[in-house]
Amino acid sequence: MNTDFPLLRKSGDKRSLKSNTTTVLLAGVMTLCLGTALVPLSAGNAAAQGLFQRLFNPEGARLKELKAREAQEQEQRQKPIKVRVSAPKYFTYKPDRLVSVSLDGLSKVKTAAVEVPAVDAGTEGTAPEVQSAPLILTPFDKARPALKSISIKVLPEVGKAVNAYYRDHPGFVWVEDGRPTARAGTARRVLASAADYGLDGDDYRVSLPALSGLDGAERDAALMTFEMEMTAAVMTYALDAERGRVDPNRISEYHDLPRHKVDLVAAIENLATTMDVAGSIEAHQPQNAEFAALKAELSRLRAQDKEDDRIVITPGTFLKPGQASPEMNNIVAAISKNGSDALRQDQAVTLSAYQGTDEYTPELVALVKAFQKENNLSADGIVGKNSIIAMVGVTNEAKIAKVELAMERRRWLPEQLGARKVFINQPAFTATYTAPGEDPLSMRVVVGKKSNQTNFFYDTIEVVEYNPYWGVPYSIIVNEMIPKLAKDPSYLDRSGYEVTTPGGKKISSSSVDWYSVASKKSSVNVRQYPGRSNALGELKILFPNKHHIYMHDTPSKSLFKKDARAFSHGCVRLQDPRAMAAAVLGKTKDYVSAQIGQGQNRQEKVPGEIPVYVSYFTAWPELNGKVDYYTDVYNRDRYLLKALGATEKARS
């Protein structure tokens, strides 16, 4: 039988069927009725059979499609999800490079033409004669030709500033009567003492010109080279003093600190007219109490003898009350040496009565507990790693390094932190609120784990939120929740979490294609309901930032008893969140407690401008003015030392 149906192929014929669908259907029906086998199925034949099935057995076709879709989704869910959100990275530091800057553009004397009346003006209205003004050359102008062949090797912004300054101020700053001035001598002494401020004096060293036997063009060249190098050195000093030698954002993605802008031309303009050269140069150093305390500490450390009487407690020593140890003598000696005057006075009887025995007696336990309390350690009487570090102290050399790094880091922050502020120091595991006329509020905090480090940045506190939801970050969804959901799709539904679409529609966690979420092909929002088990506890204090870091309460109160407190996903957990919220709101703790007691999720705007500094200092002057030293919990000192080393190498 002919199965081509030529009549049906004439699309223009009025007798032809009105659609290809009807044609295919008719062909299928005729074939079934006549019992004739068609040629092997083509794509069109398969489509025809599928259409026939949907038309004449729709329920069966729907069930078949549903089963196929479920099988596909089940197969997708069973795929191992290997996608992972990476933590911020540390970089190989790329320092600012010196460039060779030509001074040829300053070598020519520029004079302006002026209008001078002609000698014989003639008739009225005769145009004036244009003549050049008499050229009076200054000593700088006479030496200008030497600049044609002079170039200086400097930081790019310094090179631009040198050219800009002398273009607008063509005159010597450091030379007079053919030789360097006393002003230049003062400036050189200040630059040479840069180490007092934690800088490297070699970066600003300028040699005096060797003028003996030189005259004419050679002398001009030597003096002009000295002039330009002196100005460049002072500009470099000002740049380093105000913004630091290192750009922190090139160290790692954990740093988010804008680099300060420095007006180098204004710096030399001021220096050229001031009588106080030393003061003018040193004024570029941070002018605040914290930096002054660090500078004084650096001076004190350098004046001390080097570790001659340092007491050593054997590493790995672990001693509990009631036990005995041959290290007991060193422990008592270390406390006697490094404890405060007040502690030594309070414990004078115990210290004088100790006879060098190994037994850890109740009296010695009380001595250790007093020392631990004084050093913000858990006062449990157990002598372990952190207590030993506090007892023996940091080596003098290590302290100097920590103070120098602290001075560099302090330059990254605003010169004045503000009278009213919150200062978080991650290595110290503390958050401190200060305000004029109020007692300081300081408390223990928990910061990020080494794998979830807390960033170094600053912002402004805006909101206190009571009974908060916890919006789960994408990194936690992918890295921690999705592996659980692969085994238990309804895990979030049963654990107090809400899953919503980007449009806000609530859906069950078991209905989500988490493989697509992990691979960023689709997205959902996950948040934990307020309540006792909520990861944020009773409240959070927001300073909106791209790192999604804020201060908050926590149900895990026991962690505050530990000495090292790096356990969070990056946010800052507060030991006394109600007190901190009351402080920033300007309210009482009772007021904050009442808001929490209402049980409703609610936000309250923080009045005024309160900056918060989420900082990282392994040496820092505390409220009593004493510089304390802390463990480098994230090894950031090491990375900063590498960055400084790369900078020194690039400048040498």
Task: Give yes or no for a contact between 307 and 203, defined as CB atoms under 8 angstroms apart.
Answer: no
> 160 in a domain, yes or no?
yes
**How far is it, in rounded angstroms, from Cα 371 to Cα 375?**
6
pLDDT digits (tens, 9 = 90+) for 434-445: 999 999 999 999
Q: How confident is the model at residue 124 (pLDDT cuts 50, 70, 90)?
A: low
448 Rama sector, left if φ>0, alpha if ψ -120 to 50, beta otherwise: beta
Extended strands (E) in 161-213: 175-176, 179-180
| pLDDT surpassing 50 at residue 236 | yes
**531 φ, ψ to 5°?**
150, 180
Task: Give yes or no for a contact between 471 and 525, defined as CB atoms under 8 angstroms apart.
Answer: yes
Q: Give residue 51's pLDDT.
A: 57
Q: How confident is the model at residue 67 (pLDDT cuts 50, 70, 90)?
A: confident
Mean pLDDT across the chain, nearest whole number? 87
Q: CB within 8 A of 28, min separation 6: which ones?
A: 48, 49, 52
Q: Give residue 305's pLDDT.
A: 63
Q: Give residue 521's pLDDT.
A: 79
> 1 in a domain, yes or no?
no
Provide the angle, in degrees to the nearest 10, between the axes of the packed helices 385-392 and 362-374.
80
- Say yes or no: 385 and 430 in one domain: no
Instruction: Give me the DSSP letters along 27-42.
Output: HHHHHHHHTPPPSSP-
Provide the angle, in degrees to the nearest 10, between the axes of the packed helices 396-410 and 289-303.
160
Residue 457's DSSP bridge partners are: 614
- Say yes or no: 59 and 155 in one domain: no
- Say yes or no: 358 and 212 in one domain: no
- Say yes or no: 382 and 276 in one domain: no
Helix-, strand-, coil-residue percentages of the chain, each rounded to 5: 45, 15, 40
The number of domains in the chain is 4
Q: Give residue 13's pLDDT.
A: 47
| pLDDT surpassing 90 at residue 446 | yes
**How far is it, in rounded angstroms, from Cα 350 to Cα 367?**
7
**535 φ, ψ to 5°?**
-60, -20
Buried b (16+ CB within 10 A) or exposed e, 566-583: bebbbbbbbbbbbebbbb
Lowest mean pLDDT among 35-44, 59-68, 532-541: 35-44
> 322 in a domain, yes or no?
no
Task: Give yes or no for a contact between 28 and 41, defined as CB atoms under 8 angstroms apart.
Answer: no
Q: Side by side, which strands form the sheet with 470-471?
A: 470-471, 525-528, 497-500, 506-507
| pLDDT surpassing 80 at residue 129 | no
Domain range for residue 641?
Answer: 413-651
- Say yes or no: 375 and 248 in one domain: no
**How far is it, in rounded angstroms, from Cα 106 to Cα 302?**
44
Q: How confident is the model at residue 55 (pLDDT cuts 50, 70, 90)?
A: low
Length of the chain: 652
Q: Give residue 83's pLDDT.
A: 66
Lowest mean pLDDT among 51-60, 345-354, 537-546: 51-60
Q: Give residue 404's pLDDT.
A: 98
Provide the angle, in degrees to the nearest 10, between the axes of the packed helices 156-168 and 264-273.
50
Q: Give residue 619's pLDDT.
A: 97
- Say yes or no: 43 and 151 in one domain: no
Q: Give residue 2's pLDDT.
A: 42
> 90 in a domain, yes or no?
no
> 316 in a domain, yes or no?
no
**How far is it, in rounded angstroms, from Cα 470 to Cα 269?**
54
Task: Give yes or no for a contact between 408 and 640, defined as CB atoms under 8 angstroms apart.
Answer: yes
pLDDT digits (tens, 9 = 90+) for 176-205: 999 999 999 999 999 999 999 999 999 999
Q: Give residue 431's pLDDT.
A: 98
Q: Give residue 56's pLDDT.
A: 62
- Say yes or no: 216 and 184 in one domain: yes
| Residue indicated by tokens 């209402």 | 598
- Say yes or no: 351 and 475 in one domain: no
> Within 13 Å, how many C-alpha atoms sit on residue 628's CB side?
18
CA 561 to chain CA centroid, nearest Å? 27
| pLDDT surpassing 80 at residue 241 | yes
> 401 in a domain, yes or no?
no
The 3-state DSSP class for residue 163 equals: helix
pLDDT digits (tens, 9 = 90+) for 281-322: 999 999 999 999 999 999 999 998 655 567 889 888 999 999
Cβ neighbours around 94 below 10 Å, total: 12
**Pairing status of strand 525-528 against strand 470-471:** antiparallel
> 312 in a domain, yes or no?
no
CA 562 to chain CA centroid, nearest Å? 25
**How far is it, in rounded angstroms, from Cα 575 to Cα 561?**
10
**Pairing status of strand 441-448 against strand 566-568:** parallel
> 294 in a domain, yes or no?
no
More confident residue, 618 or 81: 618
**How far is it, in rounded angstroms, from Cα 15 to Cα 27?**
16
Q: Which of 444, 441, 293, 449 lies closest to 376, judged by CA? A: 444
- Say yes or no: 493 and 432 in one domain: yes
pLDDT digits (tens, 9 = 90+) for 225-235: 999 999 999 99
The percent of residues above 90 in pLDDT, for the chain, comes to 68
Q: How confident is the model at residue 80 (pLDDT cuts 50, 70, 90)?
A: low
Residue 542's DSSP bridge partners are: 463
Q: How confident is the model at residue 19 (pLDDT cuts 50, 70, 90)?
A: very low
Buried b (16+ CB within 10 A) or exposed e, 349-384: ebbeebeeeeebbeebbbbbbbbbebbbbbbbbbbb
The secondary structure of 202-216, three-state, reads HHHCCCCCCCCCCCH
Q: Give residue 49's pLDDT.
A: 59
- Say yes or no: 429 and 384 in one domain: no
Q: Which uninterrupted H or E stretch holds 310?
A: none
| pLDDT surpassing 80 at residue 626 | yes
DSSP state of 479: I
Could you tell me the CATH number of the domain that includes residue 484? Answer: 2.40.440.10
- Say yes or no: 493 and 560 in one domain: yes
Q: Give residue 25's pLDDT.
A: 45
**How far is it, in rounded angstroms, from Cα 422 to Cα 434?**
7
- Say yes or no: 281 and 371 in one domain: no
Q: Give residue 187's pLDDT.
A: 98
Provide the angle, in degrees to the nearest 10, between the axes of the packed helices 264-273 and 216-243.
120
CA 596 to chain CA centroid, nearest Å? 32
**How far is it, in rounded angstroms, from Cα 515 to Cα 475?**
14
DSSP state of 455: P
| pLDDT surpassing 80 at residue 485 | yes
Lowest mean pLDDT among 18-22, 410-414, 492-496: 18-22
Domain end call among 285, 318, 350: 285
Task: Give yes or no for a contact between 644 and 246, defined as CB atoms under 8 angstroms apart.
Answer: yes
**How far is it, in rounded angstroms, from Cα 334 to Cα 356?**
13
Q: Which of 78, 132, 75, 82 lies closest to 109, judged by CA? A: 132
Q: Give residue 76's pLDDT.
A: 54
